[in-house]
């Protein structure tokens, strides 16, 4: 029999809402936490570009299992752009590829184009991105001077609005589906104005269900190792928008065995109506997370089926 992997006594389990600073990559931030705070099992939900700052969800220990369910949530950003320029990365950190006269552009025109983001349902993936083609990230192809395939992805935009326009700069706020490239939104605005535009700054204000109000600065986290655990959201509270059910020992054992549980056998909140596709977290009698589950019809009866085990 093989040996069980050693579990570090320093490893924490839960979600840290980090206020990522501008400059380092998301991976840089995680590697620093991993090294300085001895967190061998760590991941993040939703990458932020080096230029960007704001909410980065850091998953620790068993909470890394929550990744698919945290990454798919809507995001809210604020940022600024500059018209009259283009770069290969669509932001000010890239190499300039063109510059244009913007004397014929009015503030109203820019405001209208920001509002037009709300009508978009797809966008082109930037060449300098982590999206992959035949197993290779696009940014690697771009840096090697290789041909970049055009990739189009579906997006959802809501509440896109201008905050301030003072040419050639404009500030904006936008809500969007997970995976939306704000750089591409800015680039598309420049194309429609026929003068080009680049993203100057970006802040993720919300990665639902968590906001900047709950975020901790990286320096604050690193400089107070004794307070690290107090800043971590326990796994049981990491999906606050999901209902939670506490079950008895017999049902807990069934869940660990992957047994489907009839919905009517699970005591729910008063007035809660469960429909197919609903998701929930199950806890054992001591309040320890057992699993994530989804309601599905099996033989014409609605059952809770395990999506992801959380025990261990």
Domain parsing of the chain, residue ranges? 14-73+210-236, 75-207, 242-309
Q: Which two tokens stand for residue 155?
A: 């997006």
Structure tokens given for 44: 């993040």
With CA atoms as reference, report the closest residue to 49 among 209, 213, 184: 184
Q: Find, among 61, 66, 71, the residue nearest to 26 by Cα.
A: 71
Least confident residue range of 16-20, 44-48, 264-268: 264-268
**Residues catalogued as catalytic:** 49
What gap in Å lies between CA 178 and CA 172, rounded to an integer? 18
Chain Cα centroid distance, residue 32: 20
Beta bridge partners of 217: 19
pLDDT at res. 271: 66
The tokens 């489907």 sit on which residue?
A: 260
Measure the CA dihedral 214/65/75/180, to 10°. 150
Q: Which homologous superfamily does the CATH classification assign to the domain defined by 242-309?
A: PUA domain (2.30.130.10)
User: pLDDT value at position 9?
Assistant: 81
Q: Which comes out higher in pLDDT, residue 206 or 1?
A: 206
Residues 6+ apart with CB under 8 A from 99: 84, 85, 86, 196
Looking at 2-16, 38-52, 86-100, 190-204, which range is the least confident one?
2-16
pTM given for the model: 0.90
pLDDT score of 299 more than 70:
yes
Same fold, 14-73+210-236 and 242-309: no
Q: Which option is the CATH number for 14-73+210-236: 3.40.50.620, 3.40.50.300, 3.30.2350.10, 3.60.10.10?
A: 3.30.2350.10
Sign, CA dihedral 6-11-13-18, equals negative
Under 8 Å between Cβ of 25 and 32: no
Q: Is 175 helix (H, G, I), strand (E, B) or coil?
A: strand
Q: How many helices (H) and strands (E) does the chain have?
A: 7, 20
- pLDDT score recorded for residue 120: 96
- Residue 1's pLDDT band (cuts 50, 70, 90): very low
Q: What is the DSSP string of 221-233?
A: HHT-GGGTGGGSB
DSSP code per residue over 102-149: -TT--HHHHHHHHHGGGG--EEEPPSSSS-EETTEEHHHHHHTTPPPP
Fold of 75-207: Pseudouridine synthase (3.30.2350)
CB 305 within 8 A of CB 297: no
Query: How confident is residue 128, by pLDDT bands cut at 50, 70 and 90?
Result: low
Contact assessment for residue 294 and residue 274, using Cβ atoms and an 8 Å cutoff: no
């Amino acid at each position: 029999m093989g040996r069980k992997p050693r579990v570090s006594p320093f490893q924490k389990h839960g979600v840290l809402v980090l206020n990522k600073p501008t400059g380092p990559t998301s991976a840089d931030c995680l590697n620093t936490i991993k090294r300085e705070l001895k967190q061998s099992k760590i991941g993040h939900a939703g990458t932020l570009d080096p230029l960007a700052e704001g909410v980065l969800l850091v998953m620790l220990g068993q909470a890394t299992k929550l990744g698919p369910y945290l990454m798919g949530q809507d995001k809210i950003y604020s940022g600024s752009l500059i018209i009259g320029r283009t770069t290969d990365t669509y932001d000010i950190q890239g190499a300039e590829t063109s510059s244009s006269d913007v004397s014929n552009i009015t503030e109203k025109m820019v405001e209208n184009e920001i509002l037009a983001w709300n009508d978009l349902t797809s966008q082109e993936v930037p060449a300098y991105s982590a999206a992959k083609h035949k197993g290779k990230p696009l940014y690697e192809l771009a840096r090697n001077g290789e041909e970049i395939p055009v990739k189009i992805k579906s997006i959802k935009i809501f509440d896109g609005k201008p905050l301030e326009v003072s040419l050639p700069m404009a500030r904006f706020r936008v809500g969007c589906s997970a995976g939306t490239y704000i750089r591409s939104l800015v680039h598309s605005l420049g194309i429609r104005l026929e003068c080009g535009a680049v993203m100057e700054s970006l802040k993720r204000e919300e990665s639902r269900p968590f906001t900047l109000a709950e975020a901790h600065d990286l320096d604050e986290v690193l400089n107070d190792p004794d307070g690290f655990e107090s800043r971590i959201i326990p796994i049981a509270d990491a999906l606050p928008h999901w209902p939670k059910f506490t079950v008895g020992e017999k049902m807990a054992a069934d869940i660990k065995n992957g047994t489907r549980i009839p919905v009517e056998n699970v005591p729910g909140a008063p007035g809660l109506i469960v429909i197919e596709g609903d998701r929930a977290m199950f806890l054992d009698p001591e309040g320890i997370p057992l699993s994530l589950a989804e309601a599905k019809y099996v033989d014409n009866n609605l059952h809770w089926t395990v999506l992801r085990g959380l025990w261990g």
